[in-house]
Amino acid sequence: MSLVHETDYGTPPSLSSELVTLEIDGMSVTVPAGTTVMRAAAELGTKVPKLCATDSLEPFGSCRLCLVEIEGRRGTPASCTTPVEAGMKVKTQTDRLAKLRRGVMELYISDHPLDCLTCAANGDCELQDMAGVVGLRDVRYGYEGENHLKAEKDTSNPYFTFDPAKCIVCSRCVRACEEVQGTFALTIDGRGFASAVSPGGTDFLESECVSCGACVQACPTATLMENSVIEAGQAEHSVITTCAYCGVGCGFKAEMRGTEVVRMVPWKDGAANHGHSCVKGRFAWGYATHKERVLKPMIRAKITDPWQEVSWEEAIGHAASEFKRIQAKYGRDSIGGITSSRCTNEETYLVQKLVRAGFGNNNVDTCARVCHSPTGYGLKTTFGTSAGTQDFDSVMHADVILVIGANPTDAHPVFASRMKKRLREGARLIVADPRRIDLVRTPHVEADFHLQLKPGANVALINAFAHVVVTEGLVAEDFVAERCEPTDTARWRAFIADPRHSPEAVEAVTGVPAADVRAAARLYATGGNAAIYYGLGVTEHSQGSTMVMGMANLAMVTGNIGREGVGVNPLRGQNNVQGSCDMGSFPHEFTGYRHVSDDAVRESFEAVWNVALRGEPGLRIPNMLDAAVDGTFKGLYIQGEDIAQSDPDITHVTAGLAAMECVVIQDIFLNETASFAHVFLPGSSFLEKDGTFTNAERRISMVRKAMPPMAGYADWEATMLLSNALGYRMDYTHPSEIMDEIARLTPTFAGVSFEKIERLGSVQWPCNDQAPEGTPTMHIGGFVRGKGKFAITEFVPTEERSTARYPLILTTGRILSQYNVGAQTRRTENVVWHEEDLLEIHPFDAEHRGIVDGDWVALASRSGETSLRAKITDRVQAGVVYTTFHNPETAANVVTTDFSDWATNCPEYKVTAVQVRRVNHRSDWQDRYAALREETTRIADPAAAAE
Ligand code: SF4
Ligand code: SF4
Ligand code: SF4
Ligand code: FES
């Protein structure tokens, strides 16, 4: 049986609460009103033959294969487009129907290559299945005359092939691109016999296609087919798991032949993605077995020495003895650890446990420090919990969507598709972003407002929104009186009503016309359910935490919190950044965001961990690096992070790393940080281990082992080895035991277990006695902290200002085809879409500097200088330049500064004063770095070493 199309009800479910009873083939069935006859039959286990229908798409009624007879009706209506009616009597199998269906199939097959035995879809082809189902034995029309059998293949897309000779023009691909993905890249060109699928009159690669795979998924034939299946053949089993890229957390079926992945198919029952995917999760999995994977542990005395491959035992023993030596010489606080937002919850938990219990200090931090730590601080302060308030499906109930500092179509594409669907249904859209992101205008979606603010002006803008609400009588008075702390509310209302926060007063700061701000604020406050979605364009500022609180204030004052369709929702970047924060990765918090100074909490951990724990917060990543430069911090264990590329002010980061005596890197590749490491422990990809990831909607989903760890150990096992070598015993035999410990120690996870996640498919925390099956929507009826707290959000401009020397402002972001530091996606075919980071510059600024499109330009700030190619575009406003940070050769973070959020130290990536000038060479820094990289990544030839 096909592994892909195994439960297809033919048409989507009806959401009606009214029930209708009818009879199909003499059997009674009761279904929601609005259900199609085809789906009602499927509920009974009767599969009506079909080709153009599938349950992920609205019925279309073009193939005429699904005909049925209905008592009292003339003709043979299509069951996929006919809704059920009470008392209806339907026949799905009669001689007349059989004959009609055979006739339809005969026409299809007469223009179809009969190469089933050698076709890549053999065994997974609905046309083949239907020919069998309708009993087609003869094809009378043959191939004479006109046909499409010689139509040319389109192999331009690196991941799938379009073979129009096999197309039955069922339009499923076109509709998938429209309804599911929302890109509208495909059309049916021509009419009648000449009609054919076209990616906009060009090839797939040149078209608007974003390679999401929805059309390939929907195609019932081998017309659109994954190249991996064409090359490797059909899979023989599948493993359900979770995407290891972004914070959407899509469920996938890893389709396997033995231990080899054949394809990744989005899981229809995945609650985060409902069977949709983006190019990364769907196709860009080849990195997992890339030839550059490092599969042997390695050690070296100095970073300029070549790496020596050693046994796991030797590498772990060396790391442990070095850490012990350093602590004996420089003190207990001289070492620390960094957890990974790409690893599982269980692995992250073990690393922070190792630091707190094994190292005996709280020097543990995570990459969330540099992305969403202000989310944790801001939402905890105002609402009482450090996470987003809704599930993704909530967006389908939103009437007004406010997107601030996020670029969902690039960074959270599957959620963006859902959001676009809601927008096509009529929800209104406000985008606040310095750059014209795709969402501002995309097929059948146009923002009501694009508030193109200046980088760094977020807080002024959100205060102006709240000012309009408070001064124009738009406050949800009943909600505020019932749900929020009265003293704070009164103080905040007086603060925000001050004329200095009016849209007019801040117009010069924000750069946004006051009239637009007023109109957008009114729309948000009065347009029905209003939901805020935000990203790193909010958090990565010196006032990131203030801005998060500003958005929370706005949601509370308008009553847009505590039900479906509303809320304040961080779009989290990495697959498990929510989880790594939940798991106690910050130096001041245990799991569940409980402070290390809380005696009762600490004692509960001491009892289970059997060790005395410190009550003072440890060092954050920037503090560790500062201390290393100062000579007091000497050893670091980094699991699955690449701080030498991802963290700001790389010169400072690398100086800190270079000053340490033992840096242990655990990763799947020799990343940029490994250039400064002394021990390398081979990591395991998401395909090689069991565990869980927690996505941006607090959803905990299973990650399942599809193949054995290529280097011998999963990451959690390697951490255990290190801990045991250090003398702190860890004896888990499976990650489920680690989750059981987490549940025992963490009230919001008290009801979580692998067994429950297996049973429910996924579960959203809090999950405990009060919410045994989890919590999709937070703060219903009351805030987690009790009463909501309005926080004072004074706008304090960043100290990073444009000057005569650095007159432009640089802001950074992501692109769809690449992921974070690019370590994974750069090792896939995704490079065809984004080979290098480019600097977007406005035509005015380019002309002023004599820069033309494609010129090599220097990008300089007070921190450093790099060089990259220019792309001239009016997506950015004059005075602002923009780039991505996916390539180490560009090293955009050479120029970002050490300014950071006042509350959390989250770096201010989004505002850097820079100068841009035309050059014809790489920067000195890049040359020096390339030389260093060459020197520090050499691996000694084991054969030569043995001689
Ligand atoms: S490419 Fe596939 S889905 Fe699209 S019309 Fe042809 S057969 Fe149908
Ligand atoms: S891959 Fe996605 S974007 Fe491209 S044509 Fe297919 S459905 Fe449309
Ligand atoms: S949207 Fe995110 S989680 Fe989903 S497939 Fe794409 S990268 Fe993976
Ligand atoms: S499946 Fe109903 S008309 Fe094609």
User: How many alpha carbons fall within 13 Å on the CB side of residue 307?
Assistant: 28
Residue 297's contacts (CB-CB under 8 Å, 6 or more residues apart) are: 309, 310, 311, 312, 314, 315, 316, 679, 680, 681, 682, 711
Write down the pLDDT at residue 373.
77
Closest Cα to atom 6 of ligand 2: 215
Closest Cα to atom 5 of ligand 3: 281
Tell which one of 5, 8, 52, 107 to mutate to probe ligand 4, the residue whose CB is within 8 A of the most ligand atoms.
Answer: 52
Q: Answer yes or no: are the C-beta atoms of 433 and 407 closer than 8 Å.
A: yes
**Residue found under tokens 């409980």:** 594
- Taking only the tens place, the pLDDT of each residue in 299-317 is 999 999 999 999 999 999 9
Q: Which amino acid, 873?
A: T
Write down the pLDDT at residue 541.
73
Distance from C-alpha of 601 to C-alpha of 590, rounded to nearest angstrom: 8
Tell me the two tokens of residue 884: 């991505």
Distance from C-alpha of 813 to C-alpha of 297, rounded to nearest angstrom: 34
Residue 176's contacts (CB-CB under 8 Å, 6 or more residues apart) are: 56, 57, 214, 215, 217, 218
Write down the pLDDT at residue 369.
67
What kind and span of H or E run contains 813? strand 808-813
Looking at residues 840-869, what average pLDDT do you find?
91
Distance from C-alpha of 706 to C-alpha of 733, rounded to nearest angstrom: 18
Q: Answer yes or no: are the C-beta atoms of 368 and 539 closer than 8 Å.
A: no
Tell which one of 217, 242, 248 to mutate to probe ligand 3, the residue whose CB is within 8 A of the most ligand atoms.
Answer: 248
pLDDT higher at 150 or 593: 593
50 lines ligand 4 (CB under 6 A): yes
Looking at residues 354-374, what average pLDDT do you find?
87
Distance from C-alpha of 100 to C-alpha of 106, rounded to nearest angstrom: 10
Tell me the two tokens of residue 4: 């892909």
Q: Answer yes or no: are the C-beta atoms of 916 and 890 closer than 8 Å.
A: no
* Nearest by Cα to 282 from 299, 257, 300, 262: 262
52 lines ligand 4 (CB under 6 A): yes
Q: Residue 273 CA: which ligand 3 atom is closest?
A: 4
Torsion 767-768-773-779 (CA) sign: negative
Q: Which amino acid, 763?
A: V
Torsion 343-348-351-355 (CA) sign: positive
Q: Is the pLDDT of residue 435 over 50?
A: yes
- Taking only the tens place, the pLDDT of each residue in 761-802 is 999 999 999 999 999 998 998 898 899 999 999 988 877 777
Tell which one of 8, 54, 56, 65 to mutate to probe ligand 4, the residue whose CB is within 8 A of the most ligand atoms.
Answer: 65
Quick one: residue 34, left, alpha or beta (phi over 0 = left, psi -120 to 50 = alpha)?
left
91 lines ligand 4 (CB under 6 A): no
Share of the chain above pLDDT 90, in %: 73
Q: Ligand 3 mean position to 280 CA, how many Å?
A: 6
Torsion 405-411-415-417 (CA) sign: positive
Q: Answer yes or no: are the C-beta atoms of 279 and 817 closer than 8 Å.
A: yes
Ligand number nearest to the C-alpha of 61? 4
Q: Is the pLDDT of residue 375 over 70?
A: yes
* Nearest by Cα to 563 from 398, 755, 323: 398
Average pLDDT, the chain: 91
The pLDDT-based confidence of 45 (bands split at 50, 70, 90) is very high
Q: Residue 66 CA: which ligand 4 atom is closest?
A: 2
Q: Answer yes or no: are the C-beta atoms of 347 and 690 closer than 8 Å.
A: no
Q: Classify 555 as helix, strand or coil.
A: helix
The phi and psi torsions of 377 (rounded to 5 degrees) equal: -65, -50
177 lines ligand 2 (CB under 6 A): yes
Q: Is the pLDDT of residue 230 over 70?
A: yes
Q: Are strands 679-682 and 865-872 parallel, antiparallel or unpaired?
A: unpaired
DSSP 901-938: -TTT--B-TT-EEEEEEE-SS--HHHHHHHHHHHHHT-
Task: Give residue ranges with CB within 6 A of ligand 3.
Answer: 243, 245-246, 248-250, 273, 277-278, 280-281, 412-414
What burial class does residue 886 get, using C-beta atoms within 10 Å of its C-beta: 0-12 exposed, 13-18 middle, 19+ buried? buried
Distance from C-alpha of 9 to C-alpha of 900, rounded to nearest angstrom: 52
Q: Is the pLDDT of residue 853 over 70?
A: yes
- Taking only the tens place, the pLDDT of each residue in 486-519 is 999 999 999 999 999 999 999 999 999 999 999 9
Torsion 712-716-717-722 (CA) sign: positive
Peptide bond into 942 cis (omega under 30): no
DSSP 339-356: E-SSS-HHHHHHHHHIII
Write down the pLDDT at residue 5.
46
* Nearest by Cα to 461 from 430, 501, 434, 406: 501
Distance from C-alpha of 861 to C-alpha of 803, rounded to nearest angstrom: 11
CB count in 10 Å sphere of residue 330? 16
- Taking only the tens place, the pLDDT of each residue in 233-272 is 999 999 999 999 999 999 999 999 999 999 999 999 999 9
Q: Which amino acid, 780?
A: I
Distance from C-alpha of 570 to C-alpha of 576, rounded to nearest angstrom: 13
Task: Please state the separation of Cα 778 from the chain's center in Å.
Answer: 21
Distance from C-alpha of 134 to C-alpha of 111, rounded to nearest angstrom: 17
Tell which one of 56, 64, 133 to mutate to probe ligand 4, the residue whose CB is within 8 A of the most ligand atoms.
Answer: 64
636 lines ligand 2 (CB under 6 A): no
Distance from C-alpha of 241 to C-alpha of 693, rounded to nearest angstrom: 10
Q: Ligand 3 mean position to 351 CA, how many Å?
A: 25
Q: Answer yes or no: are the C-beta atoms of 669 and 294 closer than 8 Å.
A: yes
Task: Please state the separation of Cα 448 from the chain's center in Å.
Answer: 26
Give CA angle at 328 (324, 334), nearest 5°: 80
Q: Ligand 4 mean position to 49 CA, how many Å?
A: 8
134 lines ligand 1 (CB under 6 A): no
Closest Cα to atom 8 of ligand 3: 281
Distance from C-alpha of 284 to C-alpha of 815, rounded to nearest angstrom: 14
Between helix 650-658 and helix 621-630 the angle, nearest 10°, is 60
The phi and psi torsions of 934 (rounded to 5 degrees) equal: -65, -40
Q: Answer yes or no: are the C-beta atoms of 192 and 224 closer than 8 Å.
A: no
Ligand number nearest to the C-alpha of 417? 3
221 lines ligand 1 (CB under 6 A): yes
* Nearest by Cα to 31 from 77, 90, 78: 90
- Taking only the tens place, the pLDDT of each residue in 906-936 is 777 677 889 999 997 777 777 877 888 788 8
Distance from C-alpha of 652 to C-alpha of 655, rounded to nearest angstrom: 5
168 lines ligand 1 (CB under 6 A): yes
Q: Answer yes or no: are the C-beta atoms of 419 and 401 closer than 8 Å.
A: yes
Distance from C-alpha of 409 to C-alpha of 246, rounded to nearest angstrom: 12
Q: Which amino acid, 698?
A: R
Between helix 345-353 and helix 735-745 the angle, nearest 10°, is 70
Alpha helix (H) residue ranges in 391-510? 408-411, 413-424, 458-471, 477-483, 486-497, 507-510
Peptide bond into 32 cis (omega under 30): no
Write down the pLDDT at residue 214.
97
Distance from C-alpha of 673 to C-alpha of 614, rounded to nearest angstrom: 29
Task: Please state the separation of Cα 814 from the chain's center in Å.
Answer: 11
Write down the pLDDT at residue 885.
74
Looking at residues 100-111, what average pLDDT do you find?
87
Q: Ligand 4 mean position to 167 CA, how many Å?
A: 16
* Nearest by Cα to 166 from 123, 215, 225: 225
pLDDT higher at 849 or 799: 849
The pLDDT-based confidence of 3 (bands split at 50, 70, 90) is very low
Q: Ligand 2 mean position to 279 CA, how many Å?
A: 9
Give CA angle at 209 (208, 210), nearest 5°: 115
Q: Classify 471 as helix, strand or coil.
A: helix
